[in-house]
Chains A and B, each alone.
Chain A
């Protein structure tokens, strides 16, 4: 069973081909990394998966729903987090979580907020305005928002960008535990190769809108005869040939 199924997906802006005929699937319960340099097409692909952007051609099926015809059924069962999309800054953390709890029709909302508050250590932050939090605190609140509806599919755009190594490690550990406990599928766009190597069972390497390579981190390391994913990333970005 696949949580995501993408076929011949293309997005063109005038003369610019942002995503060029890509196909991939994400099995339920897997964590898949979407890697690529700036402008490779990661954000465009995620935006199409979220229904924010209408593809030029191709099809997207999320949790069994065709995103062209039935995106709201899928959106109720998934969620999204990105450090580049804010929550209302003047609302308190609790108010923000209440807003999204209502938007996602969460049953027992106050209980769910209390659960997330305990799990993500938000107790002292609930009454503070979201705009007055540190980067690490904002990331925890963004995660709480992303998990408010117990999503079956989580799309994460650079979830640990701008975090210090300690907080980044805490977020990664927390996501791994959540995935293992809930069976949630995660699609992760990241520039942090260590993060990808640690969390992802499968990686899609994007370049100029195309998937230029794919496989598990171990397969990619072996294919390029490299010690870490950063070197693999550089090999692909700089058009170096794979060894095997």
Chain B
């Protein structure tokens, strides 16, 4: 195995070993996505029963929104919380004096985030199918592109959060749970961007997630893939990821200048 891949695997192994010996940790990964799915699934069922076909369509967009938004949330938390776990165990000192490059650390966190996301979202997709006969895969192959865009956005936000933790230490760790929730209203998860006040619409359209959800509604409501929204999502994600990568590189270097890597987590 290439040394870089082996180092990435080494850090992944450290996290996977924790999950192997702790079923509550595994359960926690799926708990919130499944709970969300139950709440919104019953809401969708209620709407379908009360207002017929329109309710069915509204329910489908709700459930699609919930499941896809979980992809972004779990991807972001997967990176940020894996980093925090290194910080809490006071292990970063050993990691940063090993030959592991910062980009390899990020790659390992991203790989762990994919595993954590799948462990959380797949059970929720299964619950949606079993309880509400809602099949997310009916969106077709374009679903993969939605997934990819939301994961990338989650990683970009997480890199920003990790950068803030490098800058401000443990004081910034609450952002790992909260920051993406703050973007939910502008991400047009459950309603179209056109519902937002005019002044907020450009803000929403600058979010890759809003472009994805506009695309999702196009497929669910009209059976049309809105490629312009998907292309915009990829382009915005490129900008977001580049900006987050630059911020991380800059904050990592600043942390090495300030001595923060020696005391991070204290």
Instruction: Write the residues of chain A forming the contact surface with B, with a CB cutoff of 8 angstroms.
Output: 13, 43-44, 47, 50-54, 72, 75-76, 80, 82, 85-92, 95, 98-105, 145
Q: Mark B1-43, 1 if CB is under 8 A from A, else 0.
A: 0010011011101100110011000000000000000000000
A51-B96, A88-B14, A98-B10 provided; 10 other pairs, C-beta below 8 A?
A: A51-B256, A52-B96, A76-B99, A80-B94, A85-B90, A88-B89, A91-B14, A100-B10, A102-B10, A104-B99
Chain B nearest CB from A89 CB (Å) reads 6
Q: Contacts of A51 on B, CB cut-off 8 Å? A: 96-97, 256
Given the known inter-chain contacts A52-B96, A53-B261, A85-B93, please indicate yes or no for A105 contacting B256, CB distance below 8 A.
no
Can you list 8 A-B pairs with a CB-CB distance of less than 8 A?
A: A80-B97, A85-B93, A85-B94, A102-B11, A103-B11, A103-B98, A104-B99, A145-B94
Q: Mark B243-257, 1 if CB is under 8 A from A, else 0.
A: 000000000010011
- A99/B259 in contact, CB under 8 A: no
Q: Contacts of B18 on A, CB cut-off 8 Å? A: 88, 90-91
- A99/B13 in contact, CB under 8 A: yes
- A102/B9 in contact, CB under 8 A: yes
- A105/B94 in contact, CB under 8 A: no
Would you call B50 an interface residue if the criterion is a C-beta within 8 Å of the partner chain's C-beta atoms? no
Q: Contacts of B14 on A, CB cut-off 8 Å? A: 88, 91, 95, 99
Cα distance A50–B92 in the bound complex, in angstroms:
13
Chain B nearest CB from A177 CB (Å) reads 24
Cα distance A26–B72 in the bound complex, in angstroms:
51
Q: Contacts of B6 on A, CB cut-off 8 Å? A: 102, 105
The 7 closest A-B pairs by CB, nearest first: A102-B10, A85-B93, A76-B99, A103-B98, A86-B90, A50-B97, A105-B3
Say which residue of B10, B98, B258, B259 sits within 8 Å of A75 (CB atoms): B98
- Write the chain A residue with the least CB distance to B93: A85
Would you call B200 an interface residue if the criterion is a C-beta within 8 Å of the partner chain's C-beta atoms? no
Chain B nearest CB from A215 CB (Å) reads 29
Instruction: Write the residues of chain B forming the contact surface with A, with a CB cutoff of 8 angstroms.
Output: 3, 6-7, 9-11, 13-14, 17-18, 21-22, 89-91, 93-101, 253, 256-259, 261-262
Cα distance A80–B262 in the bound complex, in angstroms:
13
- A53/B99 in contact, CB under 8 A: no
Given the known inter-chain contacts A53-B256, A85-B90, A102-B10, please indicate yes or no for A72 contacting B101, CB distance below 8 A.
yes
Given the known inter-chain contacts A52-B96, A86-B89, please indicate yes or no for A99 contacting B258, CB distance below 8 A.
no
- A100/B97 in contact, CB under 8 A: no
- A87/B91 in contact, CB under 8 A: yes
Q: Is the interface of B mostly helix, strand, loop or mixed?
A: helix
Given the known inter-chain contacts A87-B94, A88-B91, A105-B99, please indicate yes or no for A53 contacting B259, CB distance below 8 A.
yes
Chain A nearest CB from B29 CB (Å) reads 16
Cα distance A101–B258 in the bound complex, in angstroms:
29
Cα distance A28–B98 in the bound complex, in angstroms:
21
Chain B nearest CB from A16 CB (Å) reads 11
- B256/A89 in contact, CB under 8 A: no
Q: Contacts of B10 on A, CB cut-off 8 Å? A: 98-103
- Write the chain A residue with the least CB distance to B4: A105
Cα distance A86–B98 in the bound complex, in angstroms:
14
Cα distance A167–B232 in the bound complex, in angstroms:
63
- Write the chain A residue with the least CB distance to B100: A103
Say which residue of A53, A72, A90, A103 sits within 8 Å of B95 (CB atoms): A103
Chain B nearest CB from A230 CB (Å) reads 28
- B259/A105 in contact, CB under 8 A: no
Cα distance A76–B10 in the bound complex, in angstroms:
14
Cα distance A96–B96 in the bound complex, in angstroms:
16
- Write the chain B residue with the least CB distance to A88: B89
Q: Contacts of B95 on A, CB cut-off 8 Å? A: 103
* A43, A44, A51, A105, most chain B CB atoms within 10 A: A105
Q: Contacts of A13 on B, CB cut-off 8 Å? A: 258-259
Q: Contacts of B9 on A, CB cut-off 8 Å? A: 102
* B97, B100, B259, most chain A CB atoms within 10 A: B97
Chain A nearest CB from B261 CB (Å) reads 5
Chain B nearest CB from A74 CB (Å) reads 9
Chain B nearest CB from A181 CB (Å) reads 24
Q: Contacts of A102 on B, CB cut-off 8 Å? A: 6-7, 9-11, 13
- A105/B89 in contact, CB under 8 A: no
Cα distance A86–B256 in the bound complex, in angstroms:
19
